[in-house]
Amino acid sequence: MTVTNAINGLDNLGQFARFVFRSIAASVESCRKSATYPLIWAQMNIIGVHSVPIVMVTGAFVGMILAIQAYDQLAAFGAEEHLGVLINISVVKELGPVLAAVMLAGRIGGALTAELGTMKVTEQIDAIKSMGTDPVKYLVAPRVLACLLLTPFLIIFADLLGIIGGYFVSVIHLGINSRAYWTFSASGVELWDVAIGVIKGFFFGAAIAAISCYKGFTCKEGAHGVGQACTEAFVASFISILALDFALAVFFKAIYNTFWPIKALI
């Protein structure tokens, strides 16, 4: 039983790897063919533009909650003016990107899986093939590209609102000096921190789109099959976001440690 499970798991992983490979090839090809730009553009509208409000709300709450929660800890040893560093570092480096990505996994991932899954069970994907078009090129590539390109921007929106939310609660609600708040923030948050958060967005976006499209393409028959595919897509996306976040944290730390000592020389 466990052996067959393990074999099935590996088989799925192998299939997923092949799907990702074909998606990457198709995406690269799409970038070079202007005929597919309208498709990418349409997906960017659906995926990106309509996600802005929800991502901004997520960011704002993250900033505000951090301010409320961290204030007491810092105030206990009289360091409440450093609140800005703590909030802004957390927002731009970790919580903004990860929570925005999770939000997107739910919003976009769910919609992508349901859409492609329905197309699969109503034979629309077979229909695309039967007319001599590659469904990976026609359906997957524009979605992956749209997600990959727009998630970093959405993360910037989340960061922005997180910073503003944190500022309002800290300065207006908790009465921290505005100048001190920004001075400490500016000295503590480097461009590097913001960049890491945004770069993560490319990986998160690509992972969400690839997983969701794959789950849609391999969806089982019926309404139940589509529902199940959506659930699996969200869970897989969520875990991948956390795993990627960990891997990238290790990777960027190594880079940072390598280049930090010579920074002074540059």
CB of 178 to other proteins, least distance (A): 50
Is residue 144 within 8 Å of residue 209, measured between CB atoms?
yes
- The torsion angles phi and psi of 219, rounded to 5 degrees, stand at -60, 145
Is residue 54 within 8 Å of residue 107, measured between CB atoms?
yes
175 binds other proteins (CB under 8 A): no
d(CA 155, CA 98): 9
d(CA 237, CA 257): 30
Is residue 83 within 8 Å of residue 181, measured between CB atoms?
yes
134 binds other proteins (CB under 8 A): yes
Type of residue numbered 224: H
Q: Which is nearer to other proteins, 25 or 250 (CB)?
A: 25
3 binds other proteins (CB under 8 A): no
By CB under 8 A, what part of segment 93-132 binds other proteins? Answer: 119, 122-124, 126-127, 129-132
28 binds other proteins (CB under 8 A): no
d(CA 249, CA 6): 29
Is residue 170 within 8 Å of residue 84, measured between CB atoms?
yes
188's tokens? 């503590």
18 binds other proteins (CB under 8 A): no
8 binds other proteins (CB under 8 A): no
173 binds other proteins (CB under 8 A): no
CB of 179 to other proteins, least distance (A): 53
d(CA 23, CA 243): 21
CB of 232 to other proteins, least distance (A): 19
CB of 13 to other proteins, least distance (A): 19
Q: Which is nearer to other proteins, 26 or 206 (CB)?
A: 26
Q: Which is nearer to other proteins, 39 or 85 (CB)?
A: 39
Q: Which is nearer to other proteins, 127 or 186 (CB)?
A: 127
- Binding residues for other proteins, rule: CB under 8 A, are 119, 122-124, 126-127, 129-134, 138
